[in-house]
Structure 1
Amino acid sequence: MVTRADFQGIAADIKTTFSDFFLPRVFTLPGAVDPITEQETGGATETVDAVREEYQARQIDGQAIQSRDFKLLALVNNFTEINPKTDGLKVNVDGVDCQVVRAEKDAADAVWIIQVRGL
C-alpha cells in the first residue's frame, strides 16, 4: 500500500526533476494593528518554490474563479512560517502582487493547490 509519506517523496522527486518550473514566489502575511497600542504586530514573509498553472476556460465561472485567476502548486513541507490558508495572504508572482483566494492540500497531503487572483 502506498502511504502519504510515499506520495510526499514522489512530489519531492518531481520538484527535483522539473526544478526549472518551480520558481521562487514571495508570500507575505501583513501584520495586524493593535487598536489600543496602535502598534503593528506579527506579519511574515516566506519565499516558496511553486509552479504556476492556468485554469482551463471551462473552469472559469466569473465568480469563484475569475478570468485573471491561476493556481500555484507548492510542496506542503516548503511552507514553514506561513499557512497558505491564512486570510489576507499576498504573493508576488513574476513581479506582480496578487491575492491568495483559497488554498487546499491535495489528498496525499503533499502539495498545496493555491488559487491566486491578480490585483
Structure 2
Amino acid sequence: MRSSTMILLGSVALVAAFAVSDRVGGPRGVLIEPAVAATPVAPPVSAFRTVTSSSCSANGCPTTCEADEALISAICIGSSGAKFSDNLLVENGQITASCGPSSTAIVVSCARK
C-alpha cells in the first residue's frame, strides 16, 4: 500500500477509537473500563467420585461409598477384561461391592445423594 493510504487508514482508526471512548464515557484514548474486583468463589463440588481398590486377590476389594453418597456402579477389572460386580452386600443402607479373586482391581463410582 502507498504511504498516503496507510496514513488515511490510521487516521480513520484513530477517529473511530476516540468516538468509541466518548460513548463508553472513559477518558480519550482509553477503550476499556477498569475491571471490577471479583469476589472469591468456592471451588465447585463434584457430584461424582471414583474409588479404586487393588487388593482383590487378597480380600475381594470390598469397596463402599461415603454415607452421603450412593454407589452407582462397580466394575471388577481382571487380566482378561472387566465386568460389573455381582457381589453386592447391603448393610445399614450402605452398599458394598466386591470382586472375585481373579480380579486385580475394582472401580466404584459414587454420587452425592
TM-score (norm 1): 0.29
More strand by share: 1
TM-score by length of 2: 0.30
